[in-house]
A = this chain, B = another copy of it.
Amino acid sequence: MFKKIAIFGVGLIGGSFALALKKAGAVEQVVGVGRQLETLQRAQELGIIDAIAGSVADAVAGAELILIAAPVAQTGAILASIAPHLQAGTIVTDAGSTKSDVVLAARATLGGKIAQFVPGHPIAGREQNGPEAALAELYVGKKVVLAPLPENGEQDIARVAAAWQQCGALIHRLSPQQHDAVFAAVSHLPHVLAYALVDDIANKPHAASLFQYAASGFRDFTRIAGSSPEMWRDISLANQAALLGELDAYLLQLTRLRGLLAAGDGPALEAVYSNAQQARHSWISAIEAAEQQNKEGGD
């Protein structure tokens, strides 16, 4: 049980964390901090937070856990505002989509208090944003990656893990570098590819005619190109090195496929398509088996 939790950013991610912990009876008081008073008021009306902090100092004072769930580019500034008020015994964690840059920012701002920061990333989301989109069930059966630092105490890591587990999440551990390499491949690169395709088509002189014939395959393929441009600009830059590596590997792959197509090499093209189809099929089967197990194991 947490007596007081402070949440910086009471939108979908922070709001769902608060709702889930409240539903589990795992927290007495949730205090919200943010740049827009209106959003905080809305979160309070919705029962997500119990109080709006008058200042960062007030928010941090006496908090056992602080979650930073604001856009990832703001993490450094938020940590800097927290640092002077951070008491021993308070754990800070975050929900950012990138980790190496967050760790850099944390080291620069928290200095000697770095052991109190346990980096994290819940792998969950919805199309909608803001406190209205928050759901107590958002994290049920979802993964939360913790990317602890060598300085973190195991007890503090366990405390953050326990909070997410009370939201229904499954805890995974990766180093910040591993985390960023993994998500560059399976999340950040696909976003760039989808944005690139839609922008490419939208800039053609006959774009309107092209879009007219786009169907459900295109709709699903480009769904992630409907995501926030600001957020993805920040993620792209925050994970620049790993993303460049994945992008280069993909450009090579695509150039190789172009060669097969230009040569009319049907068997080689089919081998690539077939390998992809089988890999995706195995992946989907594994997901479905895990979901089934979660259901059976749950109550």
User: A residues bordering B, Cβ < 8 Å?
Assistant: 123-125, 143, 145, 172, 182-183, 185-187, 189-204, 207, 209-230, 232-234, 236-237, 240, 243-244, 247-251, 253-255, 257-258, 261-262, 264, 266, 269-270, 272-277, 279-281, 283-284, 286-287
Contact = CB atoms under 8 A, between A and B. Distances in A.
Contacts of A286: 211
A190 B196 contact: no
A199 B276 CA distance: 4
Nearest to A143: B213
Given A230-B270, A249-B200, A210 B185 contact: yes
Give the secondary structure class of A's interface: helix
A207 to B, nearest CB: 7
Given A211-B286, A227-B277, A261-B244, A217 B198 contact: no
Contacts of A215: 123-125, 186-187
B240 A261 contact: yes
Given A237-B264, A270-B229, A193 B197 contact: yes
B275 A226 contact: no
Given A186-B218, A236-B269, A276 B213 contact: no
Contact of A274 (B191, B229, B287): B229
A273 B224 CA distance: 11
Nearest to A270: B233
Nearest to A203: B275
B123 A196 contact: no
B280 A222 contact: yes
Which 7 A-B pairs have CB atoms at the shortest separation, nearest pair first? A202-B279, A229-B273, A198-B276, A229-B274, A233-B270, A186-B214, A199-B276
Contacts of A229: 270, 273-274, 276-277
Contacts of A253: 196, 199-200
B281 A226 contact: yes
Contacts of A275: 198-199, 202-203
A225 to B, nearest CB: 5
Given A190-B222, A233-B273, A236-B269, 19 more contacts: A182-B213, A186-B201, A190-B197, A192-B254, A193-B221, A195-B277, A198-B276, A199-B279, A220-B224, A226-B280, A228-B277, A229-B276, A229-B277, A237-B264, A237-B269, A240-B261, A240-B264, A247-B257, A251-B258
